[in-house]
């Protein structure tokens, strides 16, 4: 089938408006938020409005042997949704219906184009809560969250996206429709195909519906901040908080470089000059939250915190959290940023931070570490001058050295952003030849033509 024939078929099956070939419009659908990943030029961008449109698109592309790159809102940070040359970008944002909210079974059935925040708002009206909260929650879609197994600040207490997926509807490479999982909270009938598709980054199929577990709406958060003289002291506190079984609803760490950047940006004193900040929240409400944060406070003090403070006042808590929220803005005000995503065992967080200090010194650039201390998922960010090729090279060297460091600490090369079109070689290093071979076997079994997102995550 020629490209023109394919486009004609798509237009006739989905309607002309659903098939975009305008170069400028296509460009806005060809990249996600990771500037370092390669992106190609698509043949077309297709925006089906329902599952039949998705199936028609997949069948037409399979017949024409044109690759399909599934895409949500494009908020990804791995190039996973980036176009490859000559592909059809299949955008799921128009499948944006919340099909059902079942409060008594605490679940929702949604289409992939539903924006994370819209789901959160809709279920909140029933006193329910959808925890996964990637930082792009106000514009990313559930489909992208599922494809990347998105995390967020909630993970320390609530887990990641896959922990909330009961079942999926997926369009496979031959256009057939697979239903995985179920509406019950337990079930062991067959392989766990649901979890195989979650996090598969659009390489195995196109998710067209998901059944998601919900939780009761938590209480408004109480917030604690603790300032430590050093990363190791903060690391000791984190280990002990985990060890004692305290489960804050948020536990973020900011290293000295981050604290400096944010202090300058906000022109304010964050309670420490050359120290490390730990921010914790409890969403259990009232006396219980107060007791939880008091226990955290005690541990922080015993671990050497110079300053601790906690409040159940929402506005004040928000002010304390502001330091964390503006981190990327503060760093971007200093130059271009390469944000890494490594996850290490929680006892190695301090080693990662001190390792990043060493790397920063070696390359002569700022490396600011901010991260989800509760689960060891750290986002060291290298700041560099994009107009200097030398700085870019050094930044890239630091970025890679951080991944190397993460692996050497028993960690993973991606805690929540994914592999996409950017970390394929790192995935291969982390999982080894047998692991890679198993990935390829599964990919070939489900997508023998290599239709979906070819070259992403790994090459066949």
Among 300, 416, 451, 456, which residue interacts with a second copy (rule: CB under 8 A)?
416
Strands (E), 217-318: 222-228, 250-254, 276-282, 307-311
Q: Give the nearest distance from C-beta 263 to a second copy in angstroms.
A: 29
x-or-dash string of contact with a second copy, 86-115, rule CB under 8 A: ----------------xxxxx---------
Q: Give the nearest distance from C-beta 145 to a second copy in angstroms.
A: 11
Binding to a second copy by residue 144, rule CB under 8 A? no
x-or-dash string of contact with a second copy, 247-286, rule CB under 8 A: ----------------------------------------
x-or-dash string of contact with a second copy, 287-326, rule CB under 8 A: -x--------------------------------------
Q: Which is nearer to a second copy, 260 or 430 (CB)?
A: 430
User: CA 219, CA 77: separation in Å to the nearest integer?
Assistant: 31
Among 438, 449, 459, 460, which residue interacts with a second copy (rule: CB under 8 A)?
438
- Is 145 in a helix, a strand, or coil? helix
Q: Which residue has the tokens 């994914």?
A: 418
Region of 18-26, 51-59, 257-265, 371-379 interacting with a second copy (CB under 8 A): 371-379
Q: Which is nearer to a second copy, 255 or 416 (CB)?
A: 416
Binding to a second copy by residue 75, rule CB under 8 A? no
User: CA 342, CA 113: separation in Å to the nearest integer?
Assistant: 28
Q: Give the nearest distance from C-beta 189 to a second copy in angstroms.
A: 5
Name the maximum alpha-carbon separation found in the chain. 71
Region of 108-116, 138-146, 314-322, 414-422 interacting with a second copy (CB under 8 A): 414-422
Residue 393 host element (H or E):
helix 389-408
Phi, psi of 201 (to 5 degrees): 55, 40
Region of 116-124, 137-145, 170-178, 359-367 interacting with a second copy (CB under 8 A): 170-178
Binding to a second copy by residue 176, rule CB under 8 A? yes
Binding to a second copy by residue 347, rule CB under 8 A? yes
181-240: contacts with a second copy (CB under 8 A): 182-193, 195-196, 198-200, 204, 215-217, 239
User: CA 279, CA 263: separation in Å to the nearest integer?
Assistant: 15
Q: How many residues bind a second copy (CB under 8 A)?
A: 82
Binding to a second copy by residue 343, rule CB under 8 A? yes
- Is 255 in a helix, a strand, or coil? coil
Q: Give the nearest distance from C-beta 414 to a second copy in angstroms.
A: 5
Beta carbons of 226 and 179 less than 8 angstroms apart:
no
* Cβ neighbour number for residue 210 with a 10 Å cutoff: 29
CA neighbor of 341 nearest in space, from 328, 358, 330, 329? 328
Region of 112-120, 134-142, 352-360, 442-450 interacting with a second copy (CB under 8 A): 442-450
Q: Give the nearest distance from C-beta 165 to a second copy in angstroms.
A: 11
Torsion-angle region of 179 (φ positive above 0: left; ψ -120 to 50: alpha; else: beta): beta
User: CA 241, CA 244: separation in Å to the nearest integer?
Assistant: 5
Q: Give the nearest distance from C-beta 399 to a second copy in angstroms.
A: 16
**Residue 303: half-sphere exposure toward Cβ, Cα within 13 Å:** 26
Displacement of CA 320 from its chain's centroid (Å): 24
Helix and strand tally (H, E) in the chain? 15, 19
Among 427, 451, 454, 456, which residue interacts with a second copy (rule: CB under 8 A)?
427
Binding to a second copy by residue 178, rule CB under 8 A? yes
Binding to a second copy by residue 17, rule CB under 8 A? no
Phi, psi of 313 (to 5 degrees): -75, 125
User: CA 119, CA 130: separation in Å to the nearest integer?
Assistant: 7
Region of 145-153, 224-232, 268-276, 390-398 interacting with a second copy (CB under 8 A): 145-153
- Return the ∠ at Cα 152 (arms to 313 and 382), rounded to 5°: 105
Region of 55-63, 114-122, 133-141, 440-448 interacting with a second copy (CB under 8 A): 440-448
User: CA 58, CA 206: separation in Å to the nearest integer?
Assistant: 9
């Amino acid at each position: 089938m020629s490209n023109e024939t394919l486009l004609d078929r798509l237009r006739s099956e989905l309607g002309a408006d659903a098939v975009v070939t305008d170069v400028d419009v296509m460009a806005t659908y060809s990249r996600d938020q990771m500037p370092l990943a390669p992106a190609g030029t698509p043949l077309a961008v297709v925006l089906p409005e329902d599952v039949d449109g998705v199936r028609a698109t997949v069948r037409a592309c399979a017949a024409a042997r044109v690759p399909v790159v599934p895409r949500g809102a494009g908020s990804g940070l791995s190039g996973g949704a980036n176009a490859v040359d000559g592909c059809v970008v299949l955008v799921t944002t128009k499948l944006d219906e919340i099909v059902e909210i079942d409060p008594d079974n605490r679940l929702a059935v949604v289409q992939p184009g539903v924006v994370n925040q819209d789901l959160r708002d809709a279920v909140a009206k029933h006193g329910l809560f959808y925890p996964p909260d990637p930082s792009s929650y106000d514009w990313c879609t559930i489909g992208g969250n599922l494809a990347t197994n998105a995390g967020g600040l909630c993970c320390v207490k609530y887990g990641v996206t896959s922990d909330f997926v009961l079942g999926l509807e997926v369009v496979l490479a031959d256009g057939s429709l697979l239903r995985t999982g179920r509406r019950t909270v337990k079930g062991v009938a067959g392989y766990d195909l649901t979890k195989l598709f979650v996090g598969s980054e659009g390489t195995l199929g196109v998710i067209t519906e998901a059944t998601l577990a919900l939780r009761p709406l938590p209480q408004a958060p109480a917030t604690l901040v603790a300032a430590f003289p050093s990363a190791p002291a903060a690391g000791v506190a984190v280990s002990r908080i985990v060890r004692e079984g305290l489960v804050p609803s948020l536990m973020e760490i900011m290293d000295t470089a981050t604290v400096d950047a944010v202090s300058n940006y906000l022109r304010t004193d964050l309670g420490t000059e050359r120290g490390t900040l730990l921010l914790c929240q409890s969403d259990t409400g009232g006396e219980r939250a107060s007791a939880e944060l008091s226990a955290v406070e005690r541990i922080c003090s015993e671990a050497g915190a110079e300053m601790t403070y906690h409040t159940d006042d929402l506005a004040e808590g928000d002010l304390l959290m502001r330091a964390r929220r503006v981190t990327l803005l503060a760093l971007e005000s200093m130059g271009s940023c390469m944000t890494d995503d490594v996850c290490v065992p929680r006892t190695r967080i301090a080693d990662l931070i001190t390792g990043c200090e060493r790397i920063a010194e070696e390359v002569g650039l700022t490396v600011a570490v901010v991260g989800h201390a509760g689960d060891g998922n750290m986002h060291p960010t290298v700041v560099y001058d994009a107009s200097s090729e030398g700085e870019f090279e050094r930044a890239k060297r630091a970025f890679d050295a951080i991944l190397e460091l993460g692996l050497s600490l028993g960690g993973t090369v991606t805690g929540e952003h994914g592999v996409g079109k950017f970390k394929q070689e790192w995935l291969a290093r982390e999982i080894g030849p047998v692991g890679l071979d198993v990935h390829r076997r599964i990919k070939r079994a489900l997508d023998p033509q290599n239709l979906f997102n070819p070259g992403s995550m790994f090459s066949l």
